[in-house]
Amino acid sequence: MNPVSFFPENIKKALGKPAPGAWMPTIPPACIRLSSGYPEPSLIPVGPLQQATEQLLVEEKDLPLHYIGSPRTERLYTFIQERMAQRGMTASRHELLITAGASQALDLIARILLDEEALVVMEAPTYMEAIEIFRNYTDQLLSVPIDGEGLQTEVLEALLQKRSREGKPLPQLLYLIPTFQNPTGTSMSTKRRHHVLQLALTYNFLILEDDAYGELAFGARPTSLKAMDTENRVLYVGSLSKVIAPGLRIGWMAGDAAFIKAAAWFKKDLEHPYSQALIMTLLENVSYEAHLKKLQNRYEQKCRVLQTALQEAFGEQASWYVPGGGYFLWLHVPGIDAQAKLADALKAGVSYIPGEHFFLRQEEGKEYVRLSFSMEDEAAIVTGVQRLKSVLLD
């Protein structure tokens, strides 16, 4: 039997591409992990989850353990609606869908909107996994560079003008992480947010706003595209992974009811009733605002420590955008080949993600490194940077 003979063409094509994450060597246990976009272990509410479990199972017994049944699933919808409202976003019950993490939301949106002809525009650089998800549906991907003020909307506009002049297909979808972006930590300016919303109307495309890091603001939080969107052009994706715990896989999408209905159709019961009930119980017991403040302070402090260490170690030999929130710092070291240096870095005891994996055209990322300040503590971050210097400036 030849297994490949059973695959449709698009699957053969997908499997012909390098496997997701195959480039990443195993990280030695002793390694300081500046690669991992994981929350700080001490910030995961283990104790409260313990108590929430006890309360949930005493109060509801077997209910949350069936396919459906826990009243807390609906309460979680309400909680998300209220939290969005506090940030100026409105979503009716029919405009909201809880998903198994933000990544299920991205996959569902790609599934309902993209066929092999569909054109998707992304930021350069952008979230690695999003590139992989979209590539599962279409090869028509274009990127537009970002800078310290996020997506360069003038470049996008020029691209759209050129394509429509030349009668080329226009994008179906623009994928953005406008706030505390992964990997750069930058946010789109208000001016550019207005501009991109206007472009969506003029050129008739949808915007997928990935707001996975939006809650983790060190200072002022930019207004989300969803909150500024008067025409229902924005499909908003949120997540509790970075705020509570990734392992519970709770995210959501909000947008036009027609898209939510379609996404729900394909999601069916691929969701997590128990996780939903458990996280809702937790949210009833803790002050979300207080928990968030704690996260924001911790990550802001560690981000500051990372930048001081980088300044001391690299001086003029490296540069980066000052993150306004989130988990990541985007380090530019002119002249390096970050991927080529990775093996040495792991030997030296520090891990990072080479910049090339965040680009459609990998060569654009050669001199860049994504550093995460979320998981490791201050001491480890400082040591990690010293090891990083010894390797990257070697």
Which residues, numbered 32-61, are part of the site for its own copies (CB under 8 A)? 38-39, 41-42, 44, 46, 49-50, 53-54, 57, 61
DSSP assignment of 37-69: -PPPGGGS-HHHHHHHHHHHHHHHTTGGGSSS-
CA distances from 267 to 116, 207, 301 (A): 21, 21, 39
Q: How far apart are CA 323 and CA 182, in angstroms?
A: 10
Both tokens of residue 113? 């909107």
Among 74, 82, 154, 231, binds its own copies (CB under 8 A): 231
If one asks whether residue 379 binds its own copies (CB under 8 A), the answer comes out as: no
Q: Does 370 bind its own copies (CB under 8 A)?
A: no
* H helix and E strand count, the chain: 13, 14
The pairing of beta strand 328-332 with beta strand 319-320: antiparallel
- 168 burial (CB, 10 Å; 0-12 / 13-18 / 19+) is exposed
Any contact of residue 90 with its own copies (CB under 8 A)?
Answer: no
Residue 65 in the binding site for its own copies (CB under 8 A): yes
Residue 67 or residue 334: which is nearer to its own copies going by CB? Answer: 67
101 binds its own copies (CB under 8 A): yes
- What minimum distance in Å lies between the beta carbon of 118 and its own copies? 7
Pairing of strands 206-210, 234-239: parallel
**CB closer to its own copies out of 122 and 146:** 122
Based on the shown chain and the rule CB under 8 A, indicate whether residue 286 belongs to the binding site for its own copies. no
In residues, how long is the chain?
394
Q: Report, in Å, the least distance between residue 207 CB and its own copies.
A: 12
| Closest CB to its own copies among residues 32, 277 | 277
Nearer to its own copies, 50 or 311 (CB): 50
By the rule CB under 8 A, 177 interacts with its own copies: no
Q: Residues 244 to 273: which contact its own copies by CB under 8 A?
A: 245-249, 256, 258-259, 261-262, 265-266, 268-273
Distance of closest approach, residue 39 Cβ to its own copies, in angstroms: 8
* 118 contacts its own copies (rule: CB under 8 A): yes
Question: CB of 257 within 8 A of CB of 90?
Answer: no
Residue 144 Cα distances to 33, 141, 151, 313, angstroms:
29, 10, 7, 31
Which one of residues 143, 153, 172, 179 is an interface residue with its own copies (CB under 8 A)? 172
* Cα dihedral: 149, 155, 156, 161 (round 10): 150
**Closest approach of its own copies to the CB of residue 299, in Å:** 16
* Residue 1 in the binding site for its own copies (CB under 8 A): yes
